[in-house]
Amino acid sequence: MLPLDAVAYTNRWRPRHPAEKAFLALGLLACAVALPPWPGALVVGAVAGAVLLGPAGVAPRQAWRATRVPLGFVTVGSVPLLVAVGGSPWIRFEPSGLPTALQVAGRATAALLCLLLFAATTPLADTLPRLTRLGVPPAITEVAALMYRFLFLLLESVRTVREAQASRLGFRTWVTSYRSLAGQAGAIFVRSFDRARRMEEGLALRGYTGSLRVEVEPRPVSRPFVAAVAALLVAVVAGTWALHGTLA
C-alpha cells in the first residue's frame, strides 16, 4: 500500500462522507485559483494545512512525504520564470520575473495542499462507487478502479524484480546497472501484459457484463459539518480581500 493510501485509511475523517470532504477541499481549491495570489495563496494554504494537520489528524511527517515530490515539480516549474534567454549574455537571471515566479509557486502550493486535504482523508475505494450517482458512466469508474488495483501489482513486480537483480549484484557498476534497468523494464512490460490478460480472462469467466457491483457503506452527510465548511470558505474569501485591501 502506498503511504498516501495508508494515511487515507487511518485518518480521523475516514468515517465522513466523501462529499463533505470534497466540498471543503474543492471549495478551498476554487479560492486558491480565483482569489488574488497574494495574500490568497498564503491564506488558503495556511487554512488547508491547518485543517489537514489538525482536525483531519494527518501527521506532519506523513504530509511532508506526500508533498515533497509535487513541491519539487512546483519549484522546477517556477525557476524558468527567473531566466531570460536572448541578448547579451544569451542566458541570464531576470529579476522582473521574481514576482510572477512567487505567485505561480504560491498558488500551486496552495492548490496542492487543497488536493492533498482530500486525497489524504478519502480512500479511492470510497469515492469511485459514489461517482456513478453523479452521472459518471460506470465504465469510467470501473476502468479507474482496475487501473488503481493494477498499479499496486505493477509496483510489487518492480520491487520483486529489483530485489532479484540486486541479489545477483546487478547494480554493482554503472554498466551492470544500465543492463539491469533495461532487463527490469522488459520484464515488467511482459508481466504487465500477462497480468492484464489474466485479469480480463478472470472477469470474463465470472460473467462480467460491463458493470462491477460493489457494496457501498451508507454514510449520512453531516449538515453541521457542511455549514461549518461554508462558513470557513466565506471567512477565507472575506479575510483574503480584507488583507488584499490593506496591503494594496
| Average pLDDT of the residues of the chain | 86
Is residue 94 packed enough to be buried (19+ CB in 10 Å), middle (13-18) or exposed (0-12)?
middle
Give me the percent of the chain exceeding a pLDDT of 90. Answer: 29
Using the predicted structure, report yes or no on whether residue 29 has a pLDDT greater than 90: yes
Q: What is the spatial distance between Cα 63 and Cα 56, in angstroms, rounded to a whole number?
A: 11
Using the predicted structure, report yes or no on whether residue 157 has a pLDDT greater than 90: no
Using the predicted structure, report yes or no on whether residue 43 has a pLDDT greater than 90: yes
If one counts every other C-beta atom within 10 angstroms of the C-beta of residue 78, the result is: 20
pLDDT: is 158 or 217 the higher one?
Answer: 158
Q: What one-character DSSP code corresponds to residue 95? A: G
Q: Which residue has the cell 493494477?
A: 150
Q: Please give the C-alpha separations between residue 200 and each of 149, 190, 192, in angstroms, as whole numbers.
A: 13, 16, 12
pLDDT of residue 248: 64
Q: Is 77 helix (H, G, I), strand (E, B) or coil?
A: helix
Angle between helices 18-34 and 37-53 (to 10 degrees): 160
Using the predicted structure, report yes or no on whether residue 112 has a pLDDT greater than 70: yes
Model confidence band, residue 223 (pLDDT cutoffs 50, 70, 90)? very high
pTM of the complete model: 0.80
pLDDT: is 158 or 208 the higher one?
Answer: 158
Question: Could you tell me the maximum CA-CA distance found in the chain, to the nearest angstrom?
Answer: 69
Using the predicted structure, report yes or no on whether residue 210 has a pLDDT greater than 70: no
What average pLDDT score do residues 128-149 get? 80
Model confidence band, residue 14 (pLDDT cutoffs 50, 70, 90)? confident
**Of the ranges 43-47, 60-64, 147-151, which one carries the lowest mean pLDDT score?**
147-151
pLDDT: is 215 or 235 the higher one?
Answer: 235
